[in-house]
Amino acid sequence: ETADTGGPTIFDKIIAKQIPSNIVYEDEKVLAFRDINPQAPVHVLVIPKLRDGLTGLDKAEPRHAEILGQLLYAAKVVAEKEGVADGFRVVINNGEEGCQSVYHLHVHVLGGRQMKWPPG
């Protein structure tokens, strides 16, 4: 997908465990699993189990503040679990120009190699 249709995404099936994923962290609100096409030795996606309109960060409303905080906190927990807490990157791609391909908000946690700045 390259556009925000608001329809279901592949992540719904991952949440429902209809398709397998490599889960590294899970709680009531958040699921974190390994990216199928890793861009670093550690590449984990952290997503809200309930999308609740959050196809992308651009759709964030005040009511999403709590889950947004939970996602970021979970990203830190994932970095610790993966042993990269001393050096990692958190990315949210938004929209076509931001290279977003799945329209269910997700935080990329990348680590295990030297990052470059600015990103491409």
C-beta closer to ligand 5GP: residue 62 or 118: 118
Burial 79-118 (b: 16+ CB within 10 A, else e): beebebeeebbbbbbbeeeeebebbbbbbbbbbeeeeeee
C-beta closer to ligand 5GP: residue 3 or 65: 3
> CB of residue 34 vs ligand 5GP: minimum separation in angstroms?
6
> CB of residue 73 vs ligand 5GP: minimum separation in angstroms?
20
C-beta closer to ligand 5GP: residue 68 or 102: 102
Closest CA to 43 of 107, 120, 118, 93: 107
Active site (annotated) includes residue 106: yes
Known catalytic residues?
A: 106
